[in-house]
Amino acid sequence: MGKQFWGILLMVLGIVALSLVVGSAESQAKDQMVFASWGGTYQDAIRTAWIKPFQEKFGVEVTEDTGPEMAKIKAMVDTNTVTWDIVTGGGFSLVEGMHKGFYEKLPADKVDQSKSYPQARREYGAPSEIFSTLFAFSLKEFPDGKPQPKTWADFWDVKKFPGKRSFYSRRPACCLEIALLADGVPPADVYKVLKTPAGIERGFKKMEELKPHVGVWWTSGAAPVQALGSGEVVMAMGWNGRFQGGIDQGLPIRQVWNGAVAQVGYFMAVKNAPHKETAFKFLNWIVSPEAQAEFHKYVAYGPTTPEAWKYIPKKEWEKLPSSPENLERSVFLDEAWWNDNEGTMLERWQALLSK
């Protein structure tokens, strides 16, 4: 009887132990995720604002990686060796990867974007933040109490505001929109004009007008801030987060929000992600108003949902791209149009710069 009892007990304990092992393995499979972004202060901000709180709230183990280039994503998807669950990118990356089948479609019942700005909602990407391309000027050259540039037309006006400019050179997106704004096109009509042959000609002609006055053509986001800080230029086109970083460090520069070109950052779930359900949970977490209100504390990018403003102090609004006042003066970049037309536009752009 004793042997039988102990035999049964050992068998029960074995079953319990096996179930615990299986349960633990299942739990690990469900409660982990691999996140890949671009490193630096941007990924640091994501980690602090979203990843750590998500881990604490949901008990998920998140492993981070960097460098989610399209070629790497393609290789993973094509060879069915996907190790990343979520990658980050701008609207161009989202549109390109979506067309190539690299991302999962986000179920509306699992990733609720209903509170996001309508312009930012996408089936294959969760809107993470809004950033802007705008210009800043030197307060040494144009101090308070004297005439200061307020529009892109002023940026082009080298007689009223003399001095060299800095401008983006890698691709024409944002640049042609800005050229049309400088030529007097209202923000609401920029794409009505740009989507016509005459509008394209108008944009390139306006860029030719500015070209002789550009002292620094840049591809790195730090370059226009450095050029302004050193006095090499008096005005510079650039990204608001970079300019704000310079302001926070004491550089005597000021940003101009009139005619800013707003862009949306996105988080995408990679096709056949190994922890897809956890990825959806994370994406749903970051688009919530409460989570969206956290990100601006670490990088001067704005939330993608209007409800987030309830949690952001009014004194912070003026430096964030998606605040009601700044957004009203902005143009949202049309990534879909650029995806269809950038090849042709890029050829003309490179020809313009090489003259």
Domain with CATH 3.40.190.10 in the chain: 31-130+264-328, 132-262+333-354
pLDDT tens-place values along the chain, 355 residues long: 555 545 544 554 454 444 444 444 444 445 899 999 999 889 999 999 999 999 999 999 999 999 999 999 999 999 999 999 999 999 989 999 999 999 999 999 999 999 999 989 999 999 999 999 999 999 999 999 999 999 999 999 999 999 999 999 999 999 999 999 999 999 999 999 999 999 999 999 999 999 999 999 999 889 999 999 999 999 999 999 999 999 999 999 999 999 999 999 999 999 999 999 999 999 999 999 999 999 999 999 999 999 999 999 999 999 999 999 999 999 999 988 998 998 999 999 999 999 8
Q: And the tokens for 319? A: 């430096």
| Class in CATH terms, 31-130+264-328 | alpha beta
Residue with tokens 């370059």: 223
Count of other CB atoms within 10 angstroms of residue 246:
20
* Cβ neighbours of residue 305 closer than 8 Å, sequence gap 6 or more: 115, 116, 117, 287, 288, 289, 292
Q: And the tokens for 237? A: 């086109």
Among 121, 119, 125, which residue's Cα sits nearest to residue 102? Answer: 125
Residue with tokens 């996907």: 82
- Does the model's pTM come out above 0.75? yes
Count of other CB atoms within 10 angstroms of residue 250:
8
Q: And the tokens for 52? A: 């750590």
* 3.90.1150.10, 3.10.290.10, 1.10.3720.10, 3.40.190.10: CATH of 132-262+333-354: 3.40.190.10
Q: And the tokens for 110? A: 């699992």
pLDDT of residue 58: 94
* Cβ neighbours of residue 275 closer than 8 Å, sequence gap 6 or more: 29, 30, 32, 33, 34, 85
pLDDT of residue 30: 53
